Every structure is written in C-alpha cells, then in structure tokens.
Amino acid sequence: MSQSKLDTLWYTRCPVPTGLGIALQKGWLEDSFRSQNTVVKSLRESNDKSVRESHFDHTLQNSVRHGGNIPAIWARSAGRDTRVLGLSWADEAQLILTTADSDIRTPKDLKGRRFGLPKWQNVQIDFARAQAIRGLENALRLNGLEVSDVELVDYAISSGQSDAPAERIAGTQIFAGRASGGNSRELVGLLRGEVDAIFLKGASASHLANLFGLRTVIDTGAHPDPLIRANNGTPRTLTVDRNLIENHFDAAVRIVEQVLRAEEWAYAHPEETRQYLARESNSSEYWVSIAYGSDAHLRLRTNLEESSITGLQDFTNFLHRWQFIPNALDVRTWIDDRAYRAALDARGTRNVAA
C-alpha cells in the first residue's frame, strides 16, 4: 500500500455531536499530524466555494467528514469514491411540532392537515427536506397513515448551503445560509397559521419549541425502534475519500484514533463534554442535555455495529424511494473497516493520555 507524504488533510463536520468535533476543539487531530508535517485545514472555512461544497459532495481529495449521513449517502450514490470508516449513533430530538392551541394531539390527527417543509432550490442535496419527510413518514406510519394523507406545503429557500465561508466565533462555526434564517421559514409559516405542523430536530428544535410555546406531537427520536429513529443524524457517518485510505492509510488510522480518543475522554468528562457539544451545535449546555440526553457524553460511540449498519441501510433505502439519491446503495460495500480495526489495535497496545 503506497504511503506518499500527505501535505494537507481537509476536514469538515456538521454542527452536531461528533467525536471528530471534540478532537478538533481539543487540538488533538492537528497535533497527531504535526510530526508528519501535514497541515490540517477546515474546508468549510475556505474562501473557495468548490472546496466548501465538498462538505456535501465529497469531491475534495484527502478529506474527512463526520456528520449527518444524507450528504455522504448522496455523494456515494452519485458516484463519489468514498469510504465509511465508522458510524456514530447519538440519538437526538426529532420533533413533529404544532402550536399550543392546535387540536392536533397525535400523528393520527395530521390526516388532511398542512405540513410545512423546507425546499432548498440551489443545493445539490436537500438534506433538510429529506430528514423532515423521514420524520413525518415514520410518525404517520406508526399510526397507519402515509405522507400522501397529509398536505405538504413547501417553503422555498433560494440561498445555498456554501455561499460564504463558515465563521469561527468563540470556538463555534457559524454557517452561511443557516445564520441568515434559511432553516426557519417553515417555523414562521407555522406561527402565522399557514401550516398545522412542522419537523425540527436537535438542540435548536428543543430550544425553538420552548421559545415559541410549541407542542410536540411526537418525538420519533425517542421511539424504542431504532429504525424509527434512523434519520440524517442516526447514524452519523465518518467518511474519507478513497485516495486518502489507499495512499495515506496511516492518516486514516490517525483520524479514527483521535475520534475514539475524544469519545473515550468524553465518557469521563460529562460536564466538559456538554460544553464542547454546545459549541459544536451553536446552542447551550441545557438544550444539548434536552435534545441529546443527560448522558450525551456516553452517546459518542463510533464503531461498526450491526444495528448502525442496518439503520443506515434502511434510511438509504428511504432516500432512494423518495428520489433524494440517484442510485440504490448497498452500504456494506461502502464500508472499509481496515482503519477502524487498526485504530482499535493501536489503542489496545498503548495508553493514550486524555
């Protein structure tokens, strides 16, 4: 296996709980590559839009991505030569929300009602729409209904996801498009009475629901069936391009090692972990606890467990059925466990200080 020098490692992660995010905040990923004279760079902070867009289409060579699985699945389905190094399943709030005075009490009451959905018009993959339809479909099917039983109301968003570089403010990455309110138009529609219910997820969903006095119809993220919980963030994918794992295998192993190291550190540092996760999600520690659980520090487990693979395949099938991805995908052929196994072996043979 060729091991040429790696000049630059590009990284990106979503504003959600990940081991990679903690490893980056603590400086461990950069430190681990310093002896190799490899520069570690954030692609979302690049001034080049094509570089920033690689967060979604994974076209940038020698890059690693840890976050929501929809862009990663879409990129692989569209032909990008990427590999999954690991999967992390951290359950989160997935809320179907209505107003406090609504007569909608259960998902069954959604029949014939108006459901607000974002519709990003200038993006390669509309992950926000896909995750909302997934949450809606799962909620309805639990009650013997289908999405066709609901009136879908679109809220068009003309901005892109990578229009400007991410800003780093007090350790938090602020993303263009999201910061300008692009993700809240269906919420405005709900408050105006234009629609009867919407889907929001994560810490921001819990915060907004409280702020505007919204009522949760169902939280599919708390359902006992993992396939009902499987969505954009469950499981999250740790992916690299094929060039990185084939020509810089030691780099792929280092990445996994630092992710596992960060997660191991989190298990023993719950309060500090909540602080890190709050910065990652641009939220507060309180809403991190509400959305991700008081045991959020124990949920950052990157592995290749069968339950995560099954959940990823089920969700991938959903994306293909709804035509969010162009081609069907067997996720097992996408997974390369070599770096994960090597990282486990390496961590088992030495004590890594936290």
Q: Could you tell me the pLDDT band of residue 159, with boundaries at 50, 70 and 90?
A: confident
**Three-class DSSP category at 160:** coil
Residue 135: the pLDDT is: 98
Give yes or no: residues 219 and 271 share one domain. no
Task: For residue 323, count other CB atoms closer than 10 A to its CB.
Answer: 7
Give yes or no: residues 223 and 140 share one domain. yes
CA distances 81 to 60, 77, 159, 192, Å, are: 11, 10, 28, 45
Give yes or no: residues 104 and 55 share one domain. no
| Residue 3 counted as domain residue | no
Mean pLDDT for the chain overall: 93
| Residue 254 counted as domain residue | yes
**Three-class DSSP category at 222:** helix
The pLDDT tens digits for 189-200 are 999 999 999 999
Give yes or no: residues 249 and 302 share one domain. yes
| Residue 236 counted as domain residue | yes
Give yes or no: residues 161 and 236 share one domain. no
* Residue 172 predicted with pLDDT over 80: no
**Tokens, residue 277:** 């996760």
Residue ending a domain, among 195, 229, 263, is 229
Give yes or no: residues 107 and 179 share one domain. yes
Give residue 81's domain range. 8-89+232-348
Q: Are the CB atoms for 73 and 316 separated by under 8 Å?
A: yes
Q: Could you tell me the pLDDT band of residue 180, with boundaries at 50, 70 and 90?
A: very low
Residue 257: the pLDDT is: 98
Give yes or no: residues 275 and 343 share one domain. yes
For residue 219, list its beta bridge partners.
Answer: 95
With vertex at residue 297, the alpha carbon angle to CA 295 and CA 300, rounded to the nearest 5 degrees, is: 115
Give yes or no: residues 164 and 182 share one domain. yes
- H runs (alpha helix) in 164-299: 185-191, 202-211, 226-229, 242-247, 249-268, 270-280, 285-292
Give me the CATH number covering residue 205. 3.40.190.10
Give yes or no: residues 212 and 247 share one domain. no
Q: Return the HEC string of 281-297.
A: CCCCHHHHHHHHCCCHH
| Residue 354 counted as domain residue | no
Give yes or no: residues 99 and 224 share one domain. yes
Residue 178: the pLDDT is: 46
Give the whole-angstrom CA distance, residue 347 versus residue 210: 42
**Tokens, residue 284:** 């507060």
Give the whole-angstrom CA distance, residue 217 versus residue 203: 17
Residue ending a domain, among 229, 264, 291, is 229
Question: Where does residue 173 rank: exposed (0-12), middle (13-18), buried (19+ CB within 10 A)?
Answer: buried
The pLDDT tens digits for 95-121 are 999 999 999 999 999 999 999 999 999
**Three-class DSSP category at 67:** strand
Residue 351: the pLDDT is: 44
Query: Across residues 302-311, what is the average pLDDT?
Result: 98
| Residue 287 counted as domain residue | yes
Query: Across residues 251-266, what is the average pLDDT?
Result: 98
| Residue 1 counted as domain residue | no
Give yes or no: residues 215 and 252 share one domain. no
Q: Report which DSSP code applies to 182.
A: G
* Residue 141 predicted with pLDDT over 70: yes
The pLDDT tens digits for 2-44 are 467 999 999 999 999 999 999 999 999 999 999 999 999 999 9
Residue 179: the pLDDT is: 41
Query: Across residues 209-225, what is the average pLDDT?
Result: 98
Query: Across residues 258-283, what is the average pLDDT?
Result: 96
Give yes or no: residues 74 and 59 share one domain. yes
Specify the number of domains making up the chain: 2
Q: Could you tell me the pLDDT band of residue 255, with boundaries at 50, 70 and 90?
A: very high
Residue ending a domain, among 197, 229, 261, is 229
Residue with tokens 């009867």: 196
Sign of CA dihedral 188, 121, 90, 181: negative
* Residue 349 predicted with pLDDT over 70: no
Q: Could you tell me the pLDDT band of residue 347, with boundaries at 50, 70 and 90?
A: confident
Residue 350: the pLDDT is: 53
Residue 183: the pLDDT is: 60
Give the whole-angstrom CA distance, residue 146 versus residue 124: 27
